[in-house]
Chain A
Amino acid sequence: GAVVSQHPSWVICKSGTSVKIECRSLDFQATTMFWYRQFPKQSLMLMATSNEGSKATYEQGVEKDKFLINHASLTLSTLTVTSAHPEDSSFYICSAWGSRGAGITEAFFGQGTRLTVV
């Protein structure tokens, strides 16, 4: 079945540096991918919709210059957290729509990336 893979699973970075998170659709093509952020004990919050070959669409309140999204191919989207600060520490998750057969289309989620900014 369809699989979405994220890399890295966790990362620790110093305040002020930038971090790139990759999201890959392993056996299917995804023209659209979604990026979420999740704080402890909270639900997933949609940050942006990544569109292959065009600019990402950001949700209200999400800084596009801080969270750079690139979707250069049908199987790869990247999220770069620029000038990271401790408040950006969170669990970042990507997803993409795929098919599991039998006429069912579902959103497949990556395993998530734990970002800790120190």
Chain B
Amino acid sequence: LAKTTQPISMDSYEGQEVNITCSHNNIATNDYITWYQQFPSQGPRFIIQGYKTKVTNEVASLFIPADRKSSTLSLPRVSLSDTAVYYCLVAEGSGNTGKLIFGQGTTLQVKP
């Protein structure tokens, strides 16, 4: 079973900030939280990874509260090309090299 729960879908408009929240109530001490993006007929692509607090890179920010039972992916000023499925995952197994079990993901639709 997937260790994460996300909203199935979200709609947004170009230029808006999008926040997708993921629940992972049973996250283990060694688990990292990683978000992936998938376009149709392509493999998932890494977006961002974090363990606690806040992580920011050139495409997104990841907010993780102290209890680590949830996380929020923040996409600033989305564009039409950000329309995709977003998956929140926690690694299963020791360290950060265990198998990844995908949940249903969040389908983000960005409208003009």
Contacts and interface: CB of A to CB of B under 8 A. Distances in A.
Interface of A: 4, 6, 32, 34, 36, 43-46, 49, 91, 93, 95, 97, 100, 104-112, 114
Contacts of A32: 97
Contacts, number: 51
A111 B49 CA distance: 21
Contact of B41 (A36, A45, A91, A97): A91
B43 A93 contact: yes
A106 B44 CA distance: 11
Contacts of A93: 43-44
B104 interface: yes
Contacts of B46: 100, 106-108
A95 B36 CA distance: 13
B interface, over-half SS:
loop
B34 A107 contact: yes
Contact of B99 (A46, A104, A108, A112): A46
A109 B44 contact: yes
B7 to A, nearest CB: 14
Given A43-B104, A45-B102, A112 B97 contact: no
